[in-house]
Amino acid sequence: MVWQMDRAITKAFEGRRWDVPAHVYAQPLELYEGRQLGIGELEAALVQLGYRKRAKADAPGTYARSRAAIELMSRPFRFWDEAQPALDAFVRFDNDRIASLQNAARRVSVPILRLDPLLVGSLFPGVVEDRLVTAPDEVPELLRVSLLVVEDRRFFDHFGIDIRGIARAAWVNIKTGQLRQGGSTLTQQLVKSYFLSNTRSLRRKFTEAIMAVLLERRYGKDELLNAYINEIYLGQDGARALHGFALASRYHFGRPLGELDISQVALLVAMVKGPGFYDPRRHPGRALERRNLVLAQLAQAGEISAETAAAEKKKGLGLASKPVRGASYYPAFMALVRNQLATDFDKADLAQAGLQVFTSLDPLAQLRAERALSEGIARLEKTVPPGLEGALVVTSVNGAEVLAAVGGRDPAFDGFNRVQNARRPIGSLIKPFVYLAGIESGRYHLASPVEDAPVSLPQESGEDWAPQNYDKQFEGMMPLVRALAESRNLPAVRLGMATGVERVVSVLNKFGLDKNVSPFPSVLLGAVEMTPFEVAQLYNTFANNGSKTPLNTVRFVLDEQSQPLNRYALKLSQVSNPADVVQINAGLLTAMRRGTGKSARSRLPVGLEVAGKTGTTDDLRDSWFAGFSGDRLAVVWVGRDDNAPAGLSGAAGALTIWADLFARLPNKSLALDIGGSLRATWINYQSGLESDPDCGDTVPVPVPQEISLVAERGCEPGNGRGIGERALEWLKGKIG
């Protein structure tokens, strides 16, 4: 029996001592001169990372703020490409931009500074035990001393069990008639946590004592103490068991173990006796009393002065404003990470191998997306009955990385993730693909005439399908760019039927829709169910001029020794002629200037050019918007989980949330690459005839070089009237 115990101990301690789940990090915030970032946003990011505000930034994880500058000292961190030491920096702001970035002491320019990334959470498939393993040189000396004073003063003298301590505890318990003290050593507590269950029995206590002695025979005291610091159970976060002081420090205080003050270290040590009973959030009074007892014991042992103990007792518990739960803060994004990693790693590796996963999550973009969705839904519910839900996903255009994902109006709710699971009809979001199919056929361009007139198509059921425009009106002939910008249903159906529904479905598939779609005519008006994530994939291909890149959430994966295991490089494939896609993007720009997206102009920064498309389904059940700038793309869905009518069109609902978000995100304007096989020209918005830009109602469009357009009579290019002449005519009309 003893031999078996010894073998089990040796096997566990000589191999991987703990099953450490993969830890997931957001992308680090990079500071550099000229970056669009406000001083308030940087301070919010520092607070989120657990940086402490002081009069002077004199230690890693601290910062000081003045009116227009922040001085900070970053934490040392091992990134995927290099180990970065702690750096002191002085960041000066001009409005909402970084004006300069300098070394705080020498006042020399620093090209770029990466802050330590936010720990998003942990991955433990099938396992609910989490920890952050701490090396001996990362453990504060005060923690070691406090554990010995409070839990095992004879730790360095006994051989695993403390006969004197057991006798003392027995005497106290007999004298008081209560179970006031226990005689377990730190080594016994380590054995109990590491190898045994919580079952109370003489057999279990005997086994615990034998294993403690065996551990002490094979391993040194310092090694055992560090193992205890990493292993001991310190509470519960829902289904997740919190093990080790490092994770407990992150969870309760939002900062690394080495940055805690005396009272915070004392609180963690106080919790060892009963993590649930002394939980500082559920039982703050008990926790405070127990912490103060630990401080008194430290003073009595001479480890801190009586004056220091008295001052520390006056402090509050010092907890973070809310527990740093990691994964449950960003459940929608974490679900996407799990999906991606599942294709490359075994579940066991994700749960046990201590992997470090660096992701594309942008905490600032995530925060803005969460606020835009929750505030937007609350605003919309002032006009429609309550019960709205929503989803939002933000990506980078060129990198095709997911920057933010919000699965509902309560972004921290770890339940139904609407970003990747809410499949709803996409309505008019389909129309750009319908028109692209027409342009790819070679028979259409943005100035081509399409008819807005009634359509009736026989169905297999024997009934006719007779779709309607949203406004129930018919406008007759119009150029394709107007039909797209104003999201007219009937021109889209006519063009789609002329081109072929199969061709439209083919465009969807090559742009990234990984599902079979039956080529029924109703597809032309969006009778295709997709998730917001799938829509983002399709529109990202539009934003990249027909170059498809699978959306990505993971950048790098390192093993437990911080060595690279996997790097997720871009995978590009050109699936459509860029010139054809540019024409559609020009139509989506027009939609934002004067079509269904024009209401967003009042919310967006002046001069920001964006492209986008609204989507509305039957009976106003689903409100969609997908749009992009030169470097950001976002998809918003608003509706009800029970599929009841939301009462909102795409423009009245999702567009308002998208516009509020893009007003908060750093963006650069969308610039179309018109050249090569295309030429830019002006056409009359009503007729589609080529026109001088200063003559009549005109819009700029790209058309193929070989296309010869008929000119508007009296408005031939070069024959336009000046702005003054047009203004005078307008005034005459107003006067009558």
| Catalytic sites, residue numbers | 151, 428
Report d(CA 413, CA 44) in Å as an integer.
22
Unique residue bearing structure tokens 């090209």:
111
Q: CA angle, corner 296, sides to 295 and 301, nearest 5? A: 100
Rg (CA), the chain: 32
Q: Are 465 and 457 in contact (CB under 8 A)?
A: yes
Strand partners, 353: 20
Nearest to 661 by CA among 633, 701, 698: 633
Pairing, β 457-458 against β 240-243:
unpaired
What one-character-per-residue DSSP string does 561-579 give? TS-EEEE-----EE-S-HH
Report d(CA 734, CA 515) in Å as an integer.
55
| Cβ-based burial of 432 (10 A; exposed 0-12, middle 13-18, buried ≥19) | buried
Unique residue bearing structure tokens 């994770």:
247
Unique residue bearing structure tokens 């964006």:
610
Report d(CA 292, CA 309) in Å as an integer.
8
In the 8-state DSSP scheme, what is residue 303?
S
Sequence-distant (6+) residues with CB within 8 A of 438 are: 444, 448, 480, 495, 496, 498, 499
Report d(CA 477, CA 615) in Å as an integer.
23
692 — phi, psi (to 5°)?
Answer: -70, 140
The length of the chain in residues reads 736
Report d(CA 663, CA 684) in Å as an integer.
31
Helix axes 2-14, 202-218, angle to 10 degrees: 60
Phi/psi region, residue 223 (left: phi>0; alpha: psi -120 to 50; beta: rest), is alpha
Amino acid at 695: C
Run of H or E residues at 215: helix 202-218
What is the greatest pairwise CA distance in the chain?
111
Report d(CA 660, CA 625) in Å as an integer.
12
21, two tokens: 């789940």
448, two tokens: 């081509």
